[in-house]
Amino acid sequence: MRKDITIPEVKEVYIAAVLEFNKKYNTTDWNAYIINNNKVPLETVIIVSQGYDDKDLTAPMRHTIKSIPAQGYARIEFLEESILRLDNFFSVTYFIGNTLYDKRFELPANSVIEDNRVDLPVMEQQGVLAR
């Protein structure tokens, strides 16, 4: 029965940590974004994020985004500075048409720093891409 299940490869979908200025609190914060570089929208996007190391585990955060347009992006969550010392993962599940896609993205511990920023697709900003 398992051999009958095909799991399609996730392409052109990214998770990135982006450093942004918060006008309300006059701070510079890291925020996690999902980026859709496909030519079709992502529907019913479900994201579960959590941080962990050998002795600590954060509570899982669950997010639902109804749709992310083609060549679009959406903010997932604020990344509080103390969790950046942990390995952080984002399990992303979404539909394109009637096909379900699923991938786990990782931001390794201490990797979310300004020196690791690269140009991001779609957003025209720099950020740290999850693997």
Fold of 2-129: Immunoglobulin-like (2.60.40)
The domains of the chain are located at 2-129
Contacts of 94 (CB under 8 A, 6+ apart): 13, 42, 43, 44, 45, 46, 68, 100, 101
Residue keyed to tokens 């999902």: 34
Q: What is this structure's pTM?
A: 0.93
Nearest to 48 by CA among 75, 16, 76, 28: 76
Report the distance separating Cα 110 and Cα 76, nearest Å: 19
Given this model, what pLDDT does residue 91 score?
Answer: 98
pLDDT at 67: 98
- pLDDT value of residue 5: 67
Q: What is the pLDDT of residues 40-81, one digit of tens each?
A: 999 999 999 999 999 999 999 999 999 999 999 999 999 999
How does pLDDT run across 100-119, given as a tens digit for each residue?
999 999 999 999 999 999 99
Are the C-beta atoms of 68 and 47 separated by less than 8 Å?
no
SS3 57: strand
Query: What is the overall mean pLDDT for the chain?
Result: 94
